[in-house]
């Protein structure tokens, strides 16, 4: 598996590739714009050339993913928000095509009371229009599975399959990104062998394994099935190491790009050393013990790292 991290673009998009090289990443994910703003950036040709040149020199030479804006809602309940969301995701795909970025991972949206069926119809219609406008693009749109908070759609494999089907003929170009924490929060425990196999069998049945383009490898701060999107560092959350051991040793996923998304550690170097070492150490290792037993408890505020270390 080509393991990497979500890197900062504070010094420019090409600077994220410098950080990826320093961290020993074999894949990288970035934002091409501020994820919480509608404003669309305009990049000079020099910035595009610098990114492509830096990528060619990147030792990992792995896949590059971009995460779409968190504001996008392809099944919004107002025409204004719906059209703005469609245009934003279209422009994201255009930027990624220009920069040579492989995958655009996005959240499909929340139906906000319209109902699941109408929400899925709107997502399908939105995707069909965006894909029609971007025929011939190499950058691939990838639907990310969700934790199931509120009225968000995409927390079941059936819903993701329905989005693809309702996108029409152009939907064949869609990929999927599975986030391990979102899957766990939505009730999918990938630790036990039978549940792991059942999840991927269902994925193949409703979506098709050939559509799996990338992974987000995140542990979970919340319990199984709590429908809460809260990531944690690998091995420090509720999932345990077993699901990650199964994934990194699954030959079907040997070439997939897989990134951790948590904020980097404070050290000037080795920002993701802990997480990447934990994941890579599982490759070829003996099966670890099963994770923590599931206990449904209210989500508590995260304890500062210094206090957690002292408590341990």
Q: What pLDDT, in 10s, does the model give residues 218-241?
A: 999 999 999 999 999 998 999 999
**Mean pLDDT, rounded, for 53-64:** 87
- Helix 116-133 with 79-99: angle, nearest 10 deg: 40
pLDDT at 289: 83
Q: What pLDDT, in 10s, does the model give residues 235-273?
A: 899 999 999 999 999 999 999 999 999 877 765 555 788
Instruction: State what percent of residues in the chain have pLDDT above 70.
Output: 91
Q: What are phi and psi of 5, to 5 degrees?
A: -150, 165
Please report which residue ranges of the chain form alpha helices under DSSP H. 13-22, 45-57, 79-99, 116-133, 157-166, 180-185, 193-206, 242-248, 273-282, 305-311
CB of 221 closer than 8 Å to CB of 238: yes
74: burial class by Cβ within 10 Å (0-12, 13-18, 19+)?
Answer: buried
CB of 200 closer than 8 Å to CB of 210: no
Q: Which residue shows structure tokens 């590739």?
A: 17
Q: What pLDDT, in 10s, does the model give residues 164-189?
A: 999 999 999 999 999 999 999 999 99
Residue 298 in 3-state DSSP? coil
pLDDT at 299 over 80: no
Catalogue all structural domains in the chain, each as residue range(s) with its CATH number: 2-311 (3.20.20.150)
Query: Could you give the CA distance from residue 299 to residue 226 in angstroms, rounded to a whole number?
Result: 9
pLDDT at 303 over 60: no
Q: What pLDDT, in 10s, does the model give residues 18-32?
A: 999 988 999 999 999
Q: How many C-beta atoms surround the C-beta of residue 37 within 10 A?
A: 12
136: left (phi over 0), alpha (psi -120 to 50) or beta: left
Q: What are phi and psi of 269, to 5 degrees?
A: -125, 165
**Mean pLDDT, rounded, for 116-128:** 98
CB of 8 closer than 8 Å to CB of 19: yes
Our CA angle for 281, 269, 267, nearest 5°, is 100
> 103-106 and 140-144: which strand pairing?
parallel
pLDDT at 183: 98
pLDDT at 296: 35
Q: What pLDDT, in 10s, does the model give residues 185-212?
A: 999 999 999 999 999 999 999 999 999 9
Q: What pLDDT, in 10s, does the model give residues 279-298?
A: 999 999 999 987 554 333 33
Our CA angle for 14, 19, 20, nearest 5°, is 90
Q: What pLDDT, in 10s, does the model give residues 69-119?
A: 999 999 999 999 999 999 999 999 999 999 999 999 999 999 999 999 999
Query: Could you give the CA distance from residue 162 to residue 212 in angstroms, rounded to a whole number?
Result: 15
Which element (helix H / strand E) includes 141?
Answer: strand 140-144
Tell me the whole-structure pTM to 2 decimals: 0.90
CB of 78 closer than 8 Å to CB of 44: no
pLDDT at 291: 58
């Amino acid at each position: 598996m080509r393991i990497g991290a979500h890197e900062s673009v504070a010094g420019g998009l090409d600077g994220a590739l410098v950080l990826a090289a320093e961290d020993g990443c074999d894949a990288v994910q970035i934002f091409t714009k501020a994820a919480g703003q509608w404003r669309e950036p305009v990049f000079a040709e020099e910035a595009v050339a610098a990114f492509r040149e830096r990528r060619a020199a990147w030792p990992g030479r792995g896949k590059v993913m971009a995460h779409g804006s968190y504001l996008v809602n392809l099944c919004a309940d107002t025409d204004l928000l719906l059209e703005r969301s469609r245009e934003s995701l279209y422009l994201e795909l255009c930027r990624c095509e220009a920069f040579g970025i492989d995958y655009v991972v996005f959240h499909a949206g929340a139906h906000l009371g319209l109902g699941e069926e109408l929400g899925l119809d709107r997502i399908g219609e939105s995707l069909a229009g965006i894909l029609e406008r971007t025929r011939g693009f190499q950058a691939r749109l990838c639907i990310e599975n969700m934790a199931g908070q509120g009225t968000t759609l995409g927390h079941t494999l059936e819903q993701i399959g329905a989005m693809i089907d309702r996108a029409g003929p152009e939907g064949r170009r869609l990929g999927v990104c599975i986030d391990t924490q979102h899957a766990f929060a939505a009730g999918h425990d990938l630790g036990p062998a039978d549940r792991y196999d059942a999840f991927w069998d269902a994925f193949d049945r409703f979506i098709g394994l050939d559509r799996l383009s990338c992974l987000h490898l995140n542990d979970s701060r919340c319990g199984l099935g709590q429908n809460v999107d809260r990531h944690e560092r690998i091995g420090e959350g509720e999932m345990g190491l077993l699901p990650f051991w199964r994934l990194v040793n699954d030959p079907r996923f040997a070439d997939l790009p897989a990134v951790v998304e948590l904020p980097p550690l404070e050290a000037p170097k080795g920002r993701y050393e802990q997480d990447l070492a934990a994941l890579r150490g599982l490759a070829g290792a003996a099966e670890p013990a099963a994770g923590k037993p599931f206990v449904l408890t209210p989500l508590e505020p995260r304890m500062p790292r210094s206090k957690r270390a002292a408590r341990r």
